[in-house]
Amino acid sequence: MILITGGAGYIGSQTALNLLEKDEDVVIFDNFSIGHKEIIDEIIKEYPSANFVKGDLKNFEEINQVFKEYKIDSVLHCAAMSIVSESVVDPQKYYSNNVLGSLNLLDAMVENNVKNIVLSSSCSVYGEQEYLPIDEKHPVNPVNPYGATKLAVEGMLRDYELAYGIKFVILRYFNVIGADGKNRTGEWYPGETRLITNLMKKIVNGGVFKIFGDDYDTKDGTCVRDYINVEDIADAHKLALDYLVKNQKSEIFNLGSMHGYSVKEILNAVKKTLNIEIDVEVCKRRQGDPAVLFADSEKAKNLLGWNPQKSLEHSIETAYEWNKKLKNMN
């Protein structure tokens, strides 16, 4: 049985659906601080065999009890606070949730002799890029508390491997976009700062979309980023778990498209895909935003057999449908 922490959240719920579609036995663990009960209800409605436990990783007894009640073989650790700006103003919240929560999870794994874990990490561990594209050997030097907490958990995994024999795969995501193709789940967090999610909110709910800086040294003056679909990310989790169970070898993989899109290119793609116009305001640059950032994901393709399938247009369409659904739910 596979334990999915944060399985009511954006990436965790998509991964849960991916596994359930492949007839895997799963137990989802979430405290609904970011995730949503409505998503769990929909998952269980479609897959009555899915198990759900409401609990908080910051409470060791709550997560340890899951291992006592269920025969857990592997863990997909998707639970984390993930808003960079929020982490800067409230680092305590991030260290408590992301680091302490992960420590409790690992301690429960040790106590219950569970040896396999896949970690949802982030490209934010790299900090300012020294070269492009960014591969797994790039120096790690996070520039915000969120990235620092992710790097701390990665370090914990290495130490727990040496001491207790836990094997891990670390997945460092770049910019995740899109929603479930069947409109069952998607990004649902009021403070979200991701580009396409914010664009969809403006389109569905009205308002002006802000571009932060159009004077970067790029082809059109706006920042260039690497975007990867959430369904492709979910596929990577299954492939990573299969790799880990088969090979019992710890690894780190970047997950990205290996292609950069500028903010204006994304904006134009949204306009064309949805056949709409968008009110835009150009604002000053945000501090710390590099001009260009994209991944080298060859390692994941070669070792995991991971080949992202979803187009940018698919990501836009699914994100739009999901945000329309959210508006009707509120």
Q: Extract the tokens encoding 20.
A: 């359930």
The three-class DSSP label of residue 305 is coil
| Residue 287: other Cβ atoms inside 10 A | 6
Closest CA to 200 of 86, 81, 292, 325: 325
The three-class DSSP label of residue 25 is coil
Question: Annotated catalytic, 160?
Answer: no
**Sign of the dihedral through C-alpha 51, 54, 55, 61:** negative
Question: What is the average pLDDT across 121-136?
Answer: 93
Q: What is the pLDDT of residues 29-76, one digit of tens each?
A: 999 999 999 999 999 999 999 999 999 999 999 999 999 999 999 999
Judged by average pLDDT, the poorest of 27-36, 173-182, 251-260, 288-297 is 288-297
Q: Supply the pLDDT for residue 195.
A: 87
Exposure on the CB side of residue 94, measured as CA atoms within 13 A: 21
**Sign of the dihedral through C-alpha 44, 47, 53, 54:** negative
Q: Where are the alpha helices (DSSP H) in 60-144?
A: 60-69, 84-89, 91-94, 101-111
Mean model confidence pLDDT for the chain: 94
Exposure on the CB side of residue 10, measured as CA atoms within 13 A: 26
Question: What is the average pLDDT across 115-121?
Answer: 98
Question: What is the average pLDDT across 263-289?
Answer: 90
pLDDT at residue 330 greater than cutoff 70: no
Strand duo 224-229 + 260-262: pairing: antiparallel
Residue 260 bridge partners (DSSP): 226
Q: Supply the pLDDT for residue 84.
A: 84
Q: Supply the pLDDT for residue 314.
A: 97
In whole angstroms, give the CA distance from residue 154 to residue 144: 16
Question: What is the average pLDDT across 289-300?
Answer: 90
In whole angstroms, give the CA distance from residue 103 to residue 58: 9
pLDDT at residue 288 greater than cutoff 80: no
Q: Supply the pLDDT for residue 191.
A: 64
pLDDT at residue 286 greater than cutoff 80: no
In whole angstroms, give the CA distance from residue 142 to residue 187: 24
Strand duo 224-229 + 51-54: pairing: unpaired
Active-site residue, from 94, 146, 216, 320: 146
Q: Supply the pLDDT for residue 205.
A: 87
Question: What is the average pLDDT across 195-208?
Answer: 88
Q: What is the pLDDT of residues 65-106, one digit of tens each?
A: 999 999 999 999 999 998 888 888 999 999 999 999 999 999
In whole angstroms, give the CA distance from residue 39 to residue 35: 8
Q: How confident is the model at residue 198 (pLDDT cuts 50, 70, 90)?
A: confident
Q: Supply the pLDDT for residue 192.
A: 58
DSSP string, 307-323: -----HHHHHHHHHHHH
- Within the chain, what is the greatest distance between any pair of CA atoms? 57
Question: Residues 105, 131: contact at Cβ < 8 Å?
Answer: no
Q: What is the pLDDT of residues 182-195, one digit of tens each?
A: 999 999 987 656 78
Q: Supply the pLDDT for residue 231.
A: 98
In whole angstroms, give the CA distance from residue 12 to residue 77: 8
Q: Extract the tokens encoding 143.
A: 């520039």
Q: What is the pLDDT of residues 134-163, one digit of tens each?
A: 999 999 999 899 999 999 999 999 999 999
pTM: 0.95
Phi-psi bin for 147: left (phi > 0), alpha (psi -120 to 50), beta? Answer: alpha
In whole angstroms, give the CA distance from residue 164 to residue 141: 27
